[in-house]
């Protein structure tokens, strides 16, 4: 039986998709009307945690430095004399180097803080002396 080129069967859907018309020549495609541009979504910026990460890193370093300085000043970490260094075990050497680090940190940071406060007091006193001297000069110039 030959196949008839005219058929009652329609292969197209009864429902149009995304606003497409039933006319296949009006549908968007390569040789027909262009498709309407889709709305572009605005990209959402991710929150940057760089400042927080830097702050936490600095806080961690300060906490470790304070712990090393405190353990060294409290004689929990002890430095080993040079003559006993050769016979010391690995853990004793690690303790020695941590004690040296703690001593260095305490010497160049924590011991300087009270000195800064004294310098600030001395600076205030120096400003008072300069102000008194300026007043004395003005009094002498008027006389």
Q: How far, in Å, are 23, 68, 73, 93 from residue 101 at the CA level?
A: 83, 7, 12, 12
**pLDDT for 83:** 87
**pLDDT for 59:** 95
pLDDT tens column, 108-120: 887 777 776 676 6
**pLDDT for 57:** 96
**pLDDT for 106:** 85
Segments of the chain with pLDDT less than 50: none
At 113 the three-state DSSP class reads helix
Quote the CA–CA distance of 50 and 14 in Å, as a whole number: 56
**pLDDT for 1:** 55
């Amino acid at each position: 039986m030959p196949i008839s080129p005219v058929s009652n069967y329609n292969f197209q859907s009864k429902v149009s998709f995304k606003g497409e018309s039933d006319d296949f020549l009006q549908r968007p495609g390569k040789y027909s009307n262009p498709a309407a541009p889709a709305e572009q979504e605005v990209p959402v910026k991710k929150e940057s945690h760089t400042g927080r990460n830097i702050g936490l890193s600095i806080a961690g370093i300060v906490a470790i430095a304070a712990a090393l300085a405190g353990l060294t000043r409290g004689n929990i970490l002890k430095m080993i004399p040079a003559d006993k260094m050769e016979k010391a075990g690995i853990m004793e050497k690690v303790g020695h180097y941590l004690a040296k680090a703690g001593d260095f940190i305490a010497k160049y940071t924590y011991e300087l803080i009270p000195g800064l406060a004294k310098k600030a007091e001395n600076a205030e006193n120096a400003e008072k002396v300069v102000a008194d001297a300026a007043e004395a000069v003005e009094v002498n110039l008027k006389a």
